Structure 1
Amino acid sequence: MPKAPTITAYDPSPLKDRTVLITGGAQGIGRGIAQAVLGAGGRVCIGDLDAEAGKACLDEWQVGARAHFMRLDVAREASVRRWIDTARKRFGRIDGLVNNAGIADPHAAHLTDLSLADWNRYIATNLTGAFLCSKHALPELQKHRGAIVNIASTRALQSEPDTEAYAASKGGLVAFTHALAVSAGPDVRVNAILPGWIATDAWRKPDQRAAPRLSRRDHAQHPAGRVGTPEDIGALAVYLLSSASGFVTGQQFVVDGGMTIKMQYA
């Protein structure tokens, strides 16, 4: 008779000695994920267009060689290649990639007024950026059986008026996730997180930082009873980047306090 399964101790540092690259990692959800990775014992290389915000992260974190910042434009392949090459040389390995960078404002213009340039800007940053980063990080991730986490949005599932470009880019990111999971498996797992309302006011660079201005109604409309925080996304990202999620790939995880499952009638 086989022996009974043993109780496995919970690993308090599930990303110890692992290196995770995070795009748009200097502010907002990206910074929340970076801090969660550091809290889980990992190392981070954050890429962001805002150099001031990136330097502020390093100054405030005070984790020495465990964190590095480099200016990054995810829509430019040369910039992506330099960022990933620098991270590989600095840390010696790449174990995880979080494609978080994107245009945050979902409201562009009415479709008849939306310019092709603006449409392309959303697609290039929110979707093509994830493609470029995944493309150039994949060889390193394959060596170490790594993981990719794409930060999409609940707007891939539901919409407000005049958000076609944003919704298309995030919906494309969800489809990109399951396609890449099949192509890159079993060596690399790929999953997506779809955040809902996440209050990021306190996670901006120092001169723009503020306490969130949220009403009781803002919180109460969520079945979970509150608006989300970057820590909520960071906690799930750590799980998806760690070996604890070794049987999870190609999935989309909605983190929205229950808003997408709530019937809403005017």
Structure 2
Amino acid sequence: MSIDTPSEHLSEHLAVSKLDVSNMVAVVTGGAGGIGKGIVTALLQRGSTVVIADIEAGTTEATVNELSELGPVSGWATDVSDEGSVTALAEHVYDTHGRCNLLFNNAGVTSGGGGKPWEQEPNDWRWCFGVNVFGVAICTTEFVPRMIAGGRPGQIINTSSGDGGFAPVPTASVYAASKAAVSCFTEALHTNLVREGHNLRASVLYPSGGMMDTGLFTAQRNRPAHLARVGESTGRRSMTFTELKEIMTKVRGYEPEVADLVEHGNFVIDCVEARRFIIARDLEDTVALLHRRAEAIGRFEVPDHHNLGL
């Protein structure tokens, strides 16, 4: 009796058509600024209908007004870490549009300045994992069953990071751990969608191609009071994108490359239409790092970590 390997079993269901995002309905969490706004812009340019789900109502309204000339776009104030808020979002999307074809779980925060692992407080974990991990999980729970029931082709795109998604970051341990969780969860999501023969697939997005001018660096502005730190600072304050860019320029001796977020958004949508699982650029150094990690694990040693941190 022959036993199929997992890869042989999955290959029976891997053949799916490429997507055409025109006329699709997309939900983008954290879509009012940064990477999410770039994705929203690219979707609208290609004929999608977009619902921006963001915790900052004022910024969301401003983004909707700015981008409305590109196509049908609306906003819905959403806290992805709150089940009731996400349920309300899903009900709004399906009551208004009758479907969701593309779900971008993009909302994300840092833990509050990094620091040594033992300096992190429980609230740092609750805040960071609440948005980065529970947010992805809750949105998946609310939207994917509805998407499956609709029977239409679609994609779930979860934003991870090379900081954690590929390797740990000693100076940003909580944030990196949250992004490692997103990568692991997305692989499981994709595998189960394939095994059950659905028209849905999952992708994991590793933003790449230069520094990203996003609100992630100042995410503490949205940190709930009940999840505030209660002890002393870790000694690493949050900084703006401009401040980080200036520091990196001094350290390197030259200005780092800054990504064009709309161009990045179009790159992401190209990969979504091709139904690529890994959405990233310039992976040569990452592949080399992962090989070194695998070799170290095989020697029972501590693997190399990611040199970048927030």
| Partner SS for 2:133 | helix
Q: Give the 5 Å matches for 1:1-266.
A: 14-63=20-69, 66-104=72-110, 107-142=113-148, 143-156=151-164, 157-185=166-194, 186-196=198-208, 197-200=210-213, 226-242=257-273, 244-245=274-275, 248=276, 251-255=277-281, 260=286
State the secondary structure of the residue aligned to 1:190. Answer: strand
What displacement does 1:233 show? 3.3
* Amino acid corresponding to residue 170 of structure 2 in structure 1: P
Between 1:132-141 and 1:31-40, the stretch displaced more is 132-141
> How far did 1:98 drift?
0.3
Alpha carbons of 1:201 and 1:163: their partners in 2 closer, same or farther (altered >3 Å)? closer
- 1:95 Cα deviation (Å)? 0.4
| Aligned-partner Cα distance in 2 for 1:141–1:90 | 15
Distance 1:60 1:199 in 2: 20
Instruction: State the distance in 1 between where 2:153 and 2:21 align.
Output: 13
Between 1:232-241 and 1:24-33, the stretch displaced more is 232-241
Query: What value does the CA root-mean-square deviation take over the aligned residues?
Result: 3.4
- Encode CA deviations 1:49-102: one digit per residue, 9 max, x unaligned: 111110001111124871110110000011001001101111221100000001
Shift of 1:127: 0.9
Over 3 Å counting, the alpha-carbon distance change for 1:106 and 1:253 in structure 2 is farther
Quote the Cα distance in structure 2 between the aligned partners of 1:141 and 1:86.
14
**Deviation at residue 195 of structure 1 after TM alignment:** 1.4
CA distance in 1, matches of 2:176, 2:270: 26
Conservation of the 8 A alpha-carbon contact between 1:149 and 1:237: no
Larger Rg: 2
C-alpha distance in 1, partners of 2:173/2:127? 13
Deviations 1:3-46 (A, max 9, x none): xxxxxxxx9x9321100000000011011111111011101001
Listed as ranges, the gaps of 5+ residues in structure 1 are: 1-10, 205-209
Which residue of 2 is the match for residue 3 of structure 1? none
State how far apart, in whole Å, the 1-side matches of 2:170 and 2:191 are.
33
Does structure 1 retain, via aligned residues, the 8 Å contact 2:78–2:85? Answer: yes
Q: Write the distance in 2 (CA, Å) between the matches of 1:154 and 1:195.
A: 8
**Structure 2: 5+ residue runs without aligned partners?**
1-17, 218-239, 290-305
Q: Is the 8 A contact 1:49 1:73 kept in 2?
A: yes
Q: Do the aligned residues in 1 keep the contact of 2:50 with 2:73 (CA within 8 Å)?
A: yes
Query: Structure 1 residues 201, 112: closer, same or farther in 2, change over 3 A?
Result: closer
Task: Assess if the C-alpha contact under 8 Å between 1:141 and 1:147 holds in 2.
Answer: no
1:98 aligns to what SS in structure 2?
strand
SS at match of 1:62: helix
Q: Give the paired residue count.
A: 241
Output the TM-score relative to the length of structure 1.
0.78
Is the CA contact (8 Å cut-off) linking 1:228 and 1:257 kept in structure 2? no
Whether contact under 8 Å (1:226, 1:257) holds in the other structure is no
- Write the letter of the residue equivalent to 2:97: F
Q: CA deviation at 1:158?
A: 3.7
Aligned-residue offset at 1:200: 1.8
Q: Secondary structure at the match of 1:121?
A: helix
- Equivalent residue of 1:70, what SS? strand
